[in-house]
Amino acid sequence: MSLPDYLQIVPGHSFLSLLIWAVIVIVLLYFARTSAHRSIRGVCQVMRNAMRFASRSILSAEKRLASRNREVLLADGMAAIEREVEREFHRVGVVVERDLQGYPSLNRKLSEQIANIDEDYRQSDEVPPTPPIWVNAVDAVAKIPDKGNQMVSEILKDIHKTIIKIQKEAMEEYWKATNKRHELLKKMMPYWRRLAKTLSVVDKTMNGFQERAMVIDNRMQEYEEIQKGTNKAVRKLSSSSMTQFFISGLVLLIAIGGAVINFNLIALPMSEMVGGGSYIAGFKTSNVAGMVIVLLETALGIFLMDLLRVTKLFPIVGSIDDKLRLRITWAAFIFLFILACIESSLAFMRDIIAANNQALIQSLSGAEEGYGAYSTIPTIGQMAMGFILPFILTFVAWPLESFIHSARTMLGYGLEGFLRFIAVTLRLIGIFFYYLGSALVGLYDLLIFPPLWVEDTIKGKARESVEHPEKTEESPSLAINDSAMDLDDTQVTNPM
């Protein structure tokens, strides 16, 4: 091994020069040991404190983010329950307006009819009328014995026949009146059945009211728990938000698959309309045009759902006047219908263009043209798909709204976990720098171990001289004699 000339202390002896340089460096490092230790420990301590400070700052940000996520989650839960309660009250109002609007008049009519029916029944249950007072007198005269007088006997017989005739006529009139009442009651039976049916409908309506009231009570209890900010409400809302996130994400993936199928239906025919040889940013113009049509249909569907107040993706829609909103709704539906018709016609053109391309390929290859059996079923199916898929994509607004609201919560939880992970990582890095300082100090002492060993040896001897000064001052012979004397003294004092 050779050293440069300017590093050779002893010319021609590279090893000796290297050894001298090593001794010089070790001596310099030995004299700088205290300052080096301080510097190493100071730098590592600064890094450790910086990591700890950064970890605390991130943990503080994570706590603020967790508090913010909790507030947003509770606010979304309260808004959802408010919408549900509003919908339940709307349903109750519709039921009241539809079924119970005429209930007071119906109740009055029912009361009158029930009173009339009760009166008819009461009259039908009357006992036969009592005979007049003179009938008793005639009856008493008829019971007078005739005593063999023919004239009296005939008179009495005539009186008896008259009484029987009058009684029969009275009974016939009574039964006629009774039959008339029964006929009236019989005619009222259908109305009575309709009355019972109406009452059953009212009973079902009242039961529906009770069910709605129970639902509203449950929602109000949940609303109170959310308003109080209990852990139970937060856990329930978190679970619901996570479920909605995955379900809406799955539905959106399915919708994306439908949009891809829709795009493939119109991509080939669009090449005939906008040209298949032009490109926009490296993509075929026909593909870009087909994708724009699919996106326009999806956007119109989302606007249509918002205008119908099914979703609330655009708050400005709620401030539009009802008449203007209705006009915009019809306009959006007409545009969507036109796009669906255009897409259906493009799907019809797809088979024709594909057949022409196939014929062109066969003619260029020199093969004999073959015509297979033509079937209109695939064409009709493609046209139906091209017309229906735009309307199906309209319902993407539902899972999209749910996905956006739940993604806010899931993103907050994910960011919260990420910040916690960074804080723990920084704390571990700080601990690493703390022990790295001790390791670097030990490694530094390991590099200069010869002078440290000499220093420890000298300090050890100095310490021994301080602890046992009589051993260093007396001669070895005196020490031996003293030991012998001590031994003799021991033998004298301890003869055994």
Q: What is the DSSP string of 343-411?
A: HHHHHHHHHHHHHHHHHHHHHHHTPPP------SHHHHHHHHHHHHHHHHHHTTHHHHHHHHHHHHHHH
For residue 56, what pLDDT band results from cuts at 50, 70 and 90?
very high
Q: How much is the pLDDT for 421?
A: 92
What average pLDDT does this structure show over 331-337? 92
- Residue ranges of the domains in the chain? 100-228, 231-366+375-395
Q: Hey, which of 115-119, 171-175, 196-200, 406-410 has the most confident mean pLDDT?
A: 406-410
Give yes or no for a contact between 346 and 382, defined as CB atoms under 8 angstroms apart.
Answer: no
Cβ within 8 Å of residue 320, ≥6 positions away: 328
Burial label for 219, CB within 10 Å (0-12, 13-18, 19+), is middle
Residues in the chain: 496
% of the chain at pLDDT higher than 70: 70
Q: Does the CA dihedral 197-201-204-209 come out positive or negative? A: negative
Q: How buried is 392 (Cβ within 10 angstroms: 0-12 exposed, 13-18 middle, 19+ buried)?
A: middle
pLDDT digits (tens, 9 = 90+) for 93-134: 776 666 666 666 666 766 766 666 666 566 555 555 555 555
**Alpha carbons 373 and 382: distance in angstroms, whole number:** 18
User: pLDDT band at 4, cuts 50/70/90?
Assistant: low
Task: Give pLDDT, residue 358.
Answer: 65
Position 334 scores a pLDDT of: 93
Closest CA to 163 of 140, 181, 193: 140
Q: What is the pTM of this model?
A: 0.60
Tell me phi and psi for residue 259, to 5 degrees: -65, -35
Please enumerate in sequence order all residues whose Cβ is within 8 A of that of 274, keeping only pairs 6 or more positions apart, or say none.
285, 286, 289
